[in-house]
Amino acid sequence: MELRTLEDLRLENDELRQRLEEAESTIQAISSGEVDAFLVHRNAEDHVLVLGGVDRPYRLLIERMQQGAATLAADETIFYVNQRLADLLGVPLSDLIGSRLSDFVVEADRDELSNALALALTEDIYREVSIRRADGIFPAGVSASPLLVDEDMICVLLTDLTGQKRQEEEKIRFLEGQVARVAAESTSAALREADRRKDEFLAILAHELRNPLGPLRNGIHLLGKIGSLEPLARETHQMMARQVENLVRLVDDLLDVGRVTRGVIKLRKESIDARLVLHRAVESCRDFIAQRNHRLKIDLPPYPLAVEVDLMRMIQVVVNLLKNAAKFTPKGGRIVITAERSAESSATICVRDNGRGIEPRLLSEIFDLFVQADSTASRSEEGLGIGLTLSRRLTELHGGTLSAKSAGLGKGSEFVISLPLAETQSLTAEAPVSRASKAPPSLQPARRILIVDDNRDAAGSLGLLLRLNGHEVREANDGPKALVAASEFHPDLIFLDIGLPGMDGYQVATRLRANPDLGDVRMVALSGYGSDQDRARSRAAGFDDHLVKPAEVGRLESVLASLPPVHAARINKSRG
Amino acid sequence: MTSVSEQEPPTARAGAEEIWELRLYVAGQTPKSVTAFKNLKLLCEEHLAGRYRIEVVDLLVNPRLAREDQILAIPTLVRKLPDPIRRIIGDLSDTERTLVGLQLRPRRP
């Protein structure tokens, strides 16, 4: 009992001493300023009283700013964080204390950040890292500096860069968009320019090709006039005549397609029966089709189909389609051409063959310039691959459409022209006068003719041709010589080339018209250009007529036929 | 790290492998609370490396938690384990006093 009491006293004494120690140490802690908050029990409630201090403004600043702030030990352990950082990292503030900052960084950035934070013990650092949060990853900028007040401590500022990165990306996307647009614009501008140059080149090429064709054509015609009994010479002559006509047609197509592309072609539209178009087209390529032993079936309605078209141009389109069908159908094939009223307001012309057909993938391309459905095979046939392009563009100029159909290779093709019907179905009484008038070639009175052309071959061959028909011909190769020749020779007719070197054809014409002695001379312009504008300019310079080179013999003859009859006074004067 | 030796305080009955459970009562992040945590951390790393756990209790969040350990002033460190419970009041900046309080060092004669 006594022993126990003694033991009890000893324990009690220990406890008292411990309590006293605690009380003493509490007082010591308070008095030495180691404590800055107290628990207060008031009305059975617990409150924490925090001692305010002169550092309050700074604390508020740290707590309220938008960046996350922390102080870290050398091993990155977090001792202090503001509420912003806890919010940014998505972790309760109390859990953050004692954890390591690099635990919140994605694996890939962890070593980089640790190394940087180690450097921050002695210098300022800044790194951009990706922070992992429960709801995803976000970019952040981490700046860290030595916290000089304590050894081996650093202070860290963490900024959420999500908004900034988004802005940067938007800016980059915007700039990329700008760059792409500028690039696309310049590319399309370059393409347009290249396209324009191509058109220009084609026009010049066609024009340049056409010039030498004039004398060739005249020469061949001349050879035909002279005639030869030699069968070889006759055959060769016929071959040359055919090939030159082919060449002229190709160059004409090339010129036409250039004009259509540049929109400088003028249509002379009239109300015309589409059946007439078909008739005339079939007429002009009947031989072409017959040479290939094709059977041609024409199926026309018993009623007229009035369409508003340029007759010559529409014939050109249909001829193209017929020749195309003949070319791409093996010998002995079958070609059908039909016309019908397909709807209330349109006429349909259809050219069908049982020939080579078109691959489905090429159906949309064959109307492109220089595209032929099968380039290797089609090389056996002449053509530049511009006929369909020209035909479609011409049809479109008439407000119509031209489309192609084919069931595939070897299954034949079908080309369909659809044209709007003329509003009134009354037709122009007769077909307009054909370009090549049917004036009888000879039986013309002899004329005095001056030919002015700097191309001596052109002048010479035309001269020969005219002399052969009994005319008296002089040639001059430039403007001044032409003026001299005209006043000496007193011609009835002058063929005057426009493109002369130095003094051009217009100037020569104006000077000739100013000469009263030559008052009634007929002047005909010879030009590589035949637009309405060119013709008007010729008229203004005093020309009576304007022929496009190479002038067909038929045209020359109709010009001669249109000269006034020869009368005595004129003869006397000229012989004087 | 710390081997049993003559200097080992007789009351520190913790073996080398025994985990120390320490609880630090703070009031939000008052300067003394932050300092206390920092000092505790450094001290633990030096004397108890690898065998301690620190629980930080923020009394601003829940003041009633103060009752369990009869907390008066903040910051206060409580040694939950090893027995017996020991309290050290203040920011632990007096290392000598803290070590003695935690019975990691004998009281000076």
The tens digit of pLDDT for each residue in A228-255 reads: 778 888 888 888 888 888 788 778 877 7
CB within 8 Å: A37 and B27: yes
Does the pLDDT at position B14 exceed 60? Answer: no
- Predicted pLDDT at A443: 52
CB within 8 Å: B27 and A26: no
- Predicted pLDDT at A266: 78
Does the pLDDT at position B83 exceed 60? Answer: yes
What Å distances lie between residue A100 and A104, A113, A158, A186, A293, CA to CA?
8, 11, 14, 55, 96
Enumerate chain A positions whose Cβ falls within 8 A of a Cβ in B: 22, 25-26, 28-30, 32, 34-39, 45-48, 50-51, 53, 55, 71, 73, 77, 79-82, 93-94, 97-98, 150, 153
Question: Which residues of B fall within a CB distance of 8 Å from A38?
Answer: 72-74
| Confidence band, pLDDT 50/70/90 cuts, at residue A214 | confident
Q: How far is B32 from chain A (nearest CA, A)?
A: 6
Contacts of B38 (CB under 8 A, 6+ apart): A73, A79, A150, A153
Say if B29 is an interface residue toward chain A (CB within 8 Å).
yes
Taken in order B46, B48, B52, B57, is the CA torsion positive or negative? negative
| Residue A104: DSSP 8-state | G
Q: How far is B78 from chain A (nearest CA, A)?
A: 12
Tell me the three-class secondary structure of A352-365, residue by residue.
EECCCCCCHHHCCC
Q: How far apart are CA B35 and CA B41, in angstroms?
A: 10
The most confident of A28-32, A37-41, A438-442, B49-53, by mean pLDDT: B49-53
Q: How far is B13 from chain A (nearest CA, A)?
A: 18
Does the pLDDT at position A439 exceed 50? Answer: no
Say if B54 is an interface residue toward chain A (CB within 8 Å).
yes
**Does the pTM of the predicted model rise above 0.95?**
no
| Residue B64: DSSP 8-state | G
Is the bond into A432 cis (omega within 30 degrees of 0)? no
pLDDT tens for each residue of A30-62: 878 888 888 888 777 888 887 766 566 777 788
Does the pLDDT at position A436 exceed 60? Answer: no
- Predicted pLDDT at A470: 79
Does the pLDDT at position B102 exceed 70? Answer: yes
Inter-chain CB pairs, A–B, below 8 Å: 105
- Predicted pLDDT at A93: 82
- Predicted pLDDT at A451: 93
Residue A92: both structure tokens together: 């309760």
Does the pLDDT at position A569 exceed 60? Answer: no
Say if B82 is an interface residue toward chain A (CB within 8 Å).
no
Taking CA atoms, what residue in B is nearest to A62? B29
Does the pLDDT at position A552 exceed 80? Answer: no
Residue A321: both structure tokens together: 């389609």
| Confidence band, pLDDT 50/70/90 cuts, at residue A383 | low
CB within 8 Å: B72 and A26: yes
Q: Are A441 and A559 in contact (CB under 8 A)?
A: no
Q: Are A211 and A528 in contact (CB under 8 A)?
A: yes
Query: What average pLDDT does range A274-283 have in this prediction?
Result: 88
**Closest Cβ–Cβ partner in B33, B67, B89 for A25:** B89
Longest dimension (CA), chain B: 44
**Closest Cβ–Cβ partner in A34, A51, A97 for B56:** A97
A11, A39, A51, A63: best mutation site toward chain B, by most B Cβ within 10 Å? Answer: A39
CB within 8 Å: B90 and A35: yes
Q: How far apart are CA B109 and CA B107, in angstroms?
A: 6
- Predicted pLDDT at A506: 92
Q: How far is A121 from chain B (nearest CA, A)?
A: 16
Q: What are the φ and ψ backbone dihedral angles of A503, each rounded to 5 degrees?
A: -80, 115
Q: How far apart are CA A98 and CA A78, in angstroms?
A: 5
Please name which of A255, A73, A57, A59 lies closest in space to residue A153, comparing C-alpha atoms. A73
Left (φ > 0), alpha (ψ -120 to 50) or beta: where does A392 sit?
A: alpha
CB within 8 Å: B89 and A79: no
Contacts of A415 (CB under 8 A, 6+ apart): A321, A324, A325, A350, A351, A352, A402, A403, A404, A405
Percent of chain A with pLDDT over 70: 89
| Residue B51: DSSP 8-state | S
Looking at A392-401, A408-417, B7-16, B59-68, which range is the least confident one? B7-16
- Predicted pLDDT at A418: 93
Please name which of A548, A306, A543 lies closest in space to residue A419, comparing C-alpha atoms. A306
- Predicted pLDDT at A442: 44
Number of other CB atoms surrounding residue A490 within 10 Å = 17
Rounded to the nearest integer, the mean pLDDT of chain A is 82
- Predicted pLDDT at A424: 67
A158 or A366, greater pLDDT: A158
Say if B32 is an interface residue toward chain A (CB within 8 Å).
yes
Q: A100 has which bridge partners?
A: A77
CB within 8 Å: A32 and B37: no
Does the pLDDT at position A366 exceed 90? Answer: no
Contacts of A570 (CB under 8 A, 6+ apart): A492, A520
Question: Which residues of A fall within a CB distance of 8 Å from B73?
Answer: 26, 29-30, 35, 37-39
| Confidence band, pLDDT 50/70/90 cuts, at residue A449 | very high
| Confidence band, pLDDT 50/70/90 cuts, at residue A159 | very high
Does the pLDDT at position A502 exceed 60? Answer: yes
Which residues in chain B belong to E strands, given as ranges? 20-26, 52-58, 73-74, 76-81, 86-89
- Predicted pLDDT at A375: 47
Taking CA atoms, what residue in A is nearest to B63? A46
Q: How far apart are CA A367 and CA A393, in angstroms?
A: 9
Element (H, E) at A211: helix A162-226
Question: Which residues of A fall within a CB distance of 8 Å from B29?
Answer: 80-82, 93
Does the pLDDT at position A574 exceed 50? Answer: no
| Residue A450: DSSP 8-state | E
CB within 8 Å: B91 and A34: yes
Q: How far is B41 from chain A (nearest CA, A)?
A: 8
Which residues in A421-566 belong to E strands, given as ranges? 448-452, 472-476, 493-497, 522-527, 545-548
Does the pLDDT at position A353 exceed 90? Answer: yes
CB within 8 Å: B59 and A80: no
Q: How far apart are CA A382 and CA A328, in angstroms?
A: 11
Does the pLDDT at position A431 exceed 50? Answer: no
| Confidence band, pLDDT 50/70/90 cuts, at residue A294 | very high
Q: How far apart are CA A71 and CA A150, in angstroms?
A: 10
| Confidence band, pLDDT 50/70/90 cuts, at residue A428 | low
- Predicted pLDDT at A440: 39
Q: What are the φ and ψ backbone dihedral angles of B4, each rounded to 5 degrees?
A: -70, 130
Tell me if residue B67 falls in helix, strand or coil: helix
- Predicted pLDDT at A426: 59
CB within 8 Å: B89 and A98: no
Q: How far apart are CA A220 and CA A230, in angstroms?
A: 16
DSSP states of A374-417 as a string? THHHHTTS---S-HHHHHHHHHHHTT-EEEEEESSTTS-EEEEE
Say if B103 is an interface residue toward chain A (CB within 8 Å).
no
CB within 8 Å: A79 and B63: no
Does the pLDDT at position B11 exceed 60? Answer: no
- Predicted pLDDT at A304: 84
Number of other CB atoms surrounding residue A422 within 10 Å = 22
Query: What average pLDDT does range A438-448 have in this prediction?
Result: 60
Does the pLDDT at position B59 exceed 60? Answer: yes
Q: What is the ipTM of this complex?
A: 0.72
- Predicted pLDDT at A571: 45
Looking at A85-99, A131-145, A414-428, B48-62, which range is the least confident one? A414-428
Q: What are the φ and ψ backbone dihedral angles of A80, each rounded to 5 degrees?
A: -140, 140
CB within 8 Å: B74 and A39: yes
Please report, in angstroms and rounded to a whole number, the separation of the first and last CA atoms in chain B: 26
Residue A385: both structure tokens together: 């691959």
CB within 8 Å: B66 and A46: yes
